[in-house]
Structures are given as C-alpha cells and as structure tokens.
Chains A and B, each alone.
Chain A
Amino acid sequence: MTAKAPALPSREVSYGVLLVGLTCLVAVLFIASLFTGRLGIGGLADLLAVRTTDPETFWLLLTEVRLPRTVLALTVGATLGLSGAVLQGILRNPLAEPFILGASSSAALGAVVVFYFGIAGGSALATPFGGVAGTMAATAILIALGGRAQDPLTLILAGVAINALAAALTSLALNLAPSPYAALEIIFWILGSFADRSLDHLVFAVPLMLIGWGLLFSTWRSLDALTLGEDAAASLGFNLAAVKIRAILGCAFAVGAAVATTGVISFVGLVVPHILRPFVGYRPSRLLVASALGGAALMLAADIGVRLIDTQLELKIGVLTAIIGAPFFFHLLLVLRRSGQ
C-alpha cells in the first residue's frame, strides 16, 4: 500500500555536502587509478623514475594505457549508476537496473552481432552502435511493460526473459565462432573489463555516453512526481510518454556505448542508488547526480582493486562486480519480500 523501497533509517545529509564529497572521492580515485599498475608495479614511484630516465615511455604509458582505462572506469561507472537511478525512478522499482533488466546483455549481444557479421568491418568503432541498438530494444520492451506491471517482480521476470534470450544468442555466436580469436573477443563482452582499451575506443563511446547522460538527466523532475504514481504525475503537468522515450534513448546511448566498449558489468546500477538513496532523503531527482558520481567512484575503486589483487591472470571487473552484486541482489529481494511485497 505504501512505499515499496525497503525502509532504512533516514541518514539524509546536505545535498551540497554529499555532491562535493562524492566529487572529491572520484577525483582522488581518478588520480590513484592513473598511478596504479598491475600488482602494484608501475606505481607513482616507478612512474616518476621512468619520467626522468625515459619521458617518452612515461607519457606513452600514461596516455595510451592508464588514461583510457581510467576514463572508461569513470564514464562507465557514472553511466551505470545514473541509468540505474533513472530506471528505478521511472519504473518505481528498487530492483530495476541495466544488468538485471537485460539491457546490458542486450547491448553485449548488439556489439557481438556487429562484430560477428562484420558490419562496418566489425571494428571497435562500430560496435558501440550495435550496443545502442541492442539496449534500445530491451529498454523499450521493459518500459512498455513497466507501465502496466504493478508488481515489481513482474518486471524482474521480464528482465530474466530478455537476459535469457540475449545470453542464448550470444552463446550461439560463441558456438559458431569461426576462430579461437573470434571466440575470445566474444567472451570479452561477457566478462567485462577496462583493461587494454585504447583512446580509439573512447572516441566513439564517450560522446555516445554523454548524449545518453543528457537524455537521462532530462527526466529528473518527472521522477519526483512519479513518486505519486503515473496518473498523479501526469496531472502535475508531465508528459510521461515523452519522459519514457527520453529514458529509453538515454539508456540506449549510455549503456549501449558503455557495454560495447567494456563488456557487461553487472549490479553497479542496483547497488549504488540503493546505498545513496537514504542520503538524499529518498528523492528520486536528487539521486541522479549522486548515483552518477557514486557509480564512477565505485568503478574506479573496483578497477584499482582488480589490479592489486594477486591472481595469476588479471581478474575481470565484470566478474568481480557479479560476485559481490549477486548476493546483494538476493539480500534486496529478501528485504522486499519481508516488507510486504
């Protein structure tokens, strides 16, 4: 009857303080990421040493290796946090998130299709557009359904179905992959990683993500009105059809481009808005910037983490978020159950 989100004790803090705090955190992690190498090798001291002996290598390492990786972690994290917050607001469902709803795996499928069929040469530059198309299809289905589904779990089931279909078709591509090299490329989209991405990857992906952010942010005011449900929000003067189209396109551009460039990174859009919601007093509009910053901080921290964890092969970040995120999702489900869903 009343609120669907699990009630946490209100821990609201000043909005300005929250945003400044998160921005500082992102800035510190951004710099830390630039100076973190695999297993701690190539840290600040090493880099400074290289800078004096071999400045050319230093700049090459920084701009060609560390910078693209760091910028990607920042932008992809912000994309996932922001799109999670917008989807949760539009669908009024605390479980909505690009990965759970199948938008991410549809983006991966779109990228795999472009790659597999060699559309536009199947290059790194063309795959983001495949990702955008894949996400657009998935999000459109979900939002069309979300308007009718009163029960939050119905929507999650739709996500399960979309995920299953996308996974099946991606597996088909993997199964029929013409060479081990092609198979490895496809697996990349399933695992998700910021490693070995060059500036070329950023050239197309980042502008597409920025377009997506603009569209997603443009929904902010209507999200507060939607706290009261669709009829009341419409009676407050919001054109909900237009809002939904902006959300669909925004997710498509941002998540599609992000996933096509880094592969599927799960649960960030679920965890970040959930953690930050009490700090903004549960107001959906204020969750957007906060979640974007929170997502960026989480991704930068996680990407520093995978470089420092001592595993024989570098742990893929998508694997890490899945291992941490899945139990969290399970926990949220139990809490929702208990609160009378």
Chain B
Amino acid sequence: MNPVPRIAATNLTVTFDEIDRLRGVTLQAHGGQLIGLIGPNGAGKTTLLKTLAGLISPCKGAVAIDGQTLEVWRRDLLAQKLGYLSQTRTVHWPVTVERLVSLGRLPHRGPWDGLSDQDRAAISDALKATDTDGLQDRSVTTLSGGELARVLLARVLAGTPEIILADEPVSGLDPGHRIQVVQRFQALARDGRLVIIVLHDLTLASRYCDRLVLLNDGAVVADGSPEDVLTPERVRNIYDVETRVISDGGQTAVVPWDHV
C-alpha cells in the first residue's frame, strides 16, 4: 500500500452559524478503497465531504491530498485529480446531456482547446459506465430524476479523477440503478482509485463498501470494516433501528428492520 495516504484529514473542526458541524475529525484513506460515509441526518457527512474536496475551509485542522495540504494545491491540478459530486441536482440551463458531461473535461482542457480524442473517449466511457449513452442528445430538462442523477455522475467520471467524492450518489435511483452505480464505484476502487461516497442505505453500504466511516453529531463514531462498524448495538444507539443480517455465499448485508 502507498505509504502516503491519498487523503489525510487531521483534526478537522468546522463551525458555521455558530454550530459545530465537524468536531475533530481525523481520517486517512488510501487508493483502492470504496469508503462509505454513513450517519444519521445532520451528522456532518456532507460537511466532511465538502471539506475533503476543499469547498469548505476548516476552522481547525487540515486536509492533505497526496501529502500536500489543500492550500498548497493549484486549483486546476487538484480538479484533475479530485472529482466531487454534489448532493443537489440542479442544472441551471437546459443543455444537452453530452455537453453537461463534457463539463467534466474542463480541468483537462486549455481555455481555447476544443475536445480532444482523449476528451471524447472519456466522455463516451462515462456515459456508458452510467448507462446514459442513449440520452446524450437529450436536453437535461427532459430527464427523469434518476436519469439526471446518473448523468451528473457521468460528468464526474468524465474527468477521470483518481479521487472521487460523491454525496448521496444513489438517492432517488431505482434498486437496479442503485446497485449498478455502487458496483461501478466498486470497480473504480478496484482500479486503484479512492472512492468516498455518502450513503443512507445501510444494506448497500454493508454489502459493497470496503470500509465504513460512521459519523454522528460531527464526530467519527466508528471507522472500519462494515461488520465492525454496523454492530446491532451501535445501529440501535445511533439510528434507533433494529437490524437483521443477511448472509449469502460468505457475503453479508445489514438490513434495517424495525424502529426501536
């Protein structure tokens, strides 16, 4: 394993509107992992993801990408390395799907360059990977919620980032596409990338993630393999739900069963 972590966050504290959103979060992550960021509503998952992406400056602590703190990174170089998928799925102008996805190539292109063959290949791969290649000439206004979610993910993948930070990438998707998208993230991680996704679906999280980081009230409560993190007692304490565990062929998944 690479001795320098892809992402190293140390003692992150983020406060806004006089509320502590993150309280001393420390996290290290290496390439080749699919990490699920889980926790109840308001736990600080989005704030942590934005802080890791450099979109929020922490009040205390620091984030280093490949051993270099975010303040030192040149914006354009960081944008080539790190892709961020926002939770909000607003597209402000009715551009076509292909053009929206091609925005992901902006960090790789000079100001006056057209799309290179490499750009086109990356866009086409991203459309295929998200099962949106049939939609490329459609206006984004005409897409269903699930289609739009996958197109926005294709935009991130088109940038071929080594680090992917995705905020609730599967919310609003049907079960087939949820699994397809998470499997896609898993494959990207197998490829050596670091993928961190915010998830609410504990079943998907336990089944597909290599590692889970459980946040509650702005602090890391547990960090480790899904079996270690999602113990019945812990899930009961944090989410107020009872769980069942499904095992099949040596794989297990945690299913929320009942409200306590």
With beta carbons under 8 angstroms apart, the residue of B92, B95, B106, B152 that contacts A221 is: B106
Contact of B89 with A238 in the complex, beta carbons under 8 Å: no
Instruction: Identify which of A21-29, A54-62, A198-206, A276-284 touches chain B.
Output: A276-284
Contacts of A229 in B (CB 8 A): 86, 88, 90, 92
Interface size class of A (residues with CB under 8 A): 20 to 34
Tell me, in angstroms, the Cα distance from A235 to B88 when the chains sit together. 14
Closest to A150 in B: B90
Q: How far is the CB of A260 from the nearest CB of chain B, in Å? A: 32
A7 at the interface (CB under 8 A from B): yes
Closest to B80 in A: A237
Contact of B89 with A1 in the complex, beta carbons under 8 Å: yes
Tell me, in angstroms, the Cα distance from A284 to B100 when the chains sit together. 12
Contacts of A283 in B (CB 8 A): 93, 95, 99
Q: How far is the CB of A244 from the nearest CB of chain B, in Å? A: 15
Q: How far is the CB of A212 from the nearest CB of chain B, in Å? A: 20
B211 at the interface (CB under 8 A from A): no
Contact of A4 with B78 in the complex, beta carbons under 8 Å: no
Contact of B53 with A227 in the complex, beta carbons under 8 Å: no
A333 at the interface (CB under 8 A from B): no
Contact of A1 with B90 in the complex, beta carbons under 8 Å: yes
A234 at the interface (CB under 8 A from B): yes
Contact of B79 with A92 in the complex, beta carbons under 8 Å: no
Contact of B91 with A227 in the complex, beta carbons under 8 Å: yes
Q: How far is the CB of B77 from the nearest CB of chain A, in Å? A: 8
Q: Which of A263-322 contact B (CB under 8 A)?
A: 277, 281-284
A45 at the interface (CB under 8 A from B): no
Q: Which of B179-196 contact A (CB under 8 A)?
A: none
> CB-CB contacts of A216-240 with B at 8 A, as 1s and 0s?
0000010011111101101111110
Q: How far is the CB of A54 from the nearest CB of chain B, in Å? A: 51
Contact of B103 with A236 in the complex, beta carbons under 8 Å: yes
Q: Which of A148-204 contact B (CB under 8 A)?
A: none
Contacts of B141 in A (CB 8 A): 2-3, 7
| A10-B139, A235-B53, A237-B76 given; A225·B103 CB < 8 A | yes
Contact of A227 with B93 in the complex, beta carbons under 8 Å: yes
A140 at the interface (CB under 8 A from B): no
> CB-CB contacts of B136-154 with A at 8 A, as 1s and 0s?
0001110101001000100
A65 at the interface (CB under 8 A from B): no
Tell me, in angstroms, the Cα distance from A231 to B55 when the chains sit together. 7
Contact of B103 with A237 in the complex, beta carbons under 8 Å: no
| A1-B145, A2-B148, A234-B55 given; A281·B91 CB < 8 A | no
Tell me, in angstroms, the Cα distance from A277 to B75 when the chains sit together. 30
B249 at the interface (CB under 8 A from A): no
Contacts of A39 in B (CB 8 A): none
Tell me, in angstroms, the Cα distance from A228 to B83 when the chains sit together. 13
Q: Which of A72-99 contact B (CB under 8 A)?
A: 92
With beta carbons under 8 angstroms apart, the residue of B50, B89, B91, B107 that contacts A237 is: B107
Contact of A284 with B93 in the complex, beta carbons under 8 Å: yes
| A3-B140, A229-B90, A235-B82 given; A281·B50 CB < 8 A | no
A5 at the interface (CB under 8 A from B): yes
Contacts of A238 in B (CB 8 A): 75
Contact of B94 with A3 in the complex, beta carbons under 8 Å: yes
B111 at the interface (CB under 8 A from A): yes
Contact of A232 with B106 in the complex, beta carbons under 8 Å: no
Q: How far is the CB of B25 from the nearest CB of chain A, in Å? A: 19
Central interface residue in B54, B78, B96, B103, by most chain A CB within 10 Å = B103
B84 at the interface (CB under 8 A from A): yes
With beta carbons under 8 angstroms apart, the residue of B50, B93, B148 that contacts A282 is: B93
Q: How far is the CB of B138 from the nearest CB of chain A, in Å? A: 10
Central interface residue in B54, B78, B84, by most chain A CB within 10 Å = B84
Tell me, in angstroms, the Cα distance from A283 to B92 when the chains sit together. 10
Contacts of A4 in B (CB 8 A): 90, 92-93
Contacts of B84 in A (CB 8 A): 231-232, 235
Q: Which of B158-196 contact A (CB under 8 A)?
A: 159
Residues on A facing B (Cβ under 8 Å): 1-5, 7, 10, 92, 221, 224-229, 231-232, 234-239, 277, 281-284
Between A and B, 7 residue pairs with Cβ closer than 8 Å are A3-B141, A5-B92, A10-B139, A92-B93, A227-B92, A227-B93, A234-B55
Can you list the 3 inter-chain pairs with the closest CB atoms, starting with the nearest? A237-B79, A235-B84, A92-B92
